[in-house]
């Protein structure tokens, strides 16, 4: 009986600690701001790794003192000579860029999974976060975390958000946007209107 009471006490303490993890609004805000920062950490950086072909071509022209107007007037064969040189250099750079891009996405994917787990935990404990009510000092956008969630969590997210929308703890806009993502970004509330459904109004 003594051991039973001891383990029961430990269970209640553990349960209490878990359920009160995000009770403090300031702590919750800090977590939300941090996971939003992580959500954006590597996104967009791959756009810096665009095909450098035209920049390289411009550099070659500048080094040889050729203006764009002069280059346009070159015969096609002469333009192709410069183009082949620029393409050769660009392709070598692109090999490096692809490796860097893949590495960035691997890092971002790990953060997306971690963020998804954290937000699921928050929603289960306190409901979907209302940023206006929380008045977080830093910028946070919780719905984006689920919009970038890995597929393996979609079923769980749908279940908890269906309850959130019924309980009016998430806006329709946030709910629809997340549903669009977990439905594979093909069909859903944010899908484009089919062309045949668009009505043309004549003057």
Give residue-wise pLDDT tens across range 130-179. 988 998 988 999 999 999 999 999 999 999 999 999 999 999 999 999 99
Identify the CA nearest to 90 among candidates 56, 45, 59.
Answer: 56
Least confident among 54-68, 109-123, 184-198: 184-198
In this prediction, residue 50 carries a pLDDT of: 59
In this prediction, residue 141 carries a pLDDT of: 92
Residue with tokens 């996405």: 105
- Could you give the C-alpha distances from 31 to 9, 66, 151, 192, in angstroms and in order? 29, 55, 23, 34
Cα angle: 77, vertex 80, 84; to 5 degrees: 145
Residue range 25-67, pLDDT digits in tens: 999 999 999 999 999 998 877 555 556 788 888 888 898 899 8
Question: Are residues 162 and 128 in contact, defined by beta-carbon separation less than 8 angstroms?
Answer: no
In this prediction, residue 9 carries a pLDDT of: 46
- Could you give the C-alpha distances from 128 to 40, 72, 117, 141, 159, in angstroms and in order? 20, 58, 13, 11, 13
Of the chain, the percentage scoring pLDDT greater than 90 comes to: 45
pLDDT at residue 198 tops 90: no
In this prediction, residue 199 carries a pLDDT of: 42
User: How far is residue 39's CA from residue 115's CA, in Å, rounded to a whole number?
Assistant: 7
Question: How high is the mean pLDDT of the chain?
Answer: 82
User: How far is residue 145's CA from residue 153's CA, in Å, rounded to a whole number?
Assistant: 12
User: How far is residue 133's CA from residue 27's CA, in Å, rounded to a whole number?
Assistant: 14
């Amino acid at each position: 009986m003594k051991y039973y009471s001891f383990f029961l006490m430990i269970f209640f303490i553990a349960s209490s600690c878990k359920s009160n993890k995000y009770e403090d609004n300031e702590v919750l805000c800090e977590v939300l701001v941090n996971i939003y920062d992580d959500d954006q950490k590597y996104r967009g950086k791959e756009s810096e790794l665009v095909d450098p072909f035209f920049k390289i071509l411009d550099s070659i022209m500048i080094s040889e003192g050729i203006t764009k107007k002069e280059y346009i007037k070159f015969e096609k064969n002469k333009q192709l000579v410069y183009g082949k040189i620029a393409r050769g250099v660009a392709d070598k750079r692109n090999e490096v860029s692809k490796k860097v891009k893949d590495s960035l996405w691997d890092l971002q994917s790990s953060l997306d999974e971690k963020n998804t787990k954290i937000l699921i935990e928050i929603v289960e404990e306190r409901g979907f976060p209302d940023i206006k009510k929380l008045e977080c000092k830093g910028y946070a956008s919780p719905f984006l975390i689920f919009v970038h969630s890995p597929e393996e969590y979609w079923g769980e997210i749908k279940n908890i958000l269906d309850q959130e929308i019924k309980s009016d703890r998430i806006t329709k806009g946030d709910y629809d946007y997340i549903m669009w993502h977990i439905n594979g970004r093909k069909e859903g509330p944010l899908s484009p209107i089919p062309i045949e459904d668009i009505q043309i109004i004549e003057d």
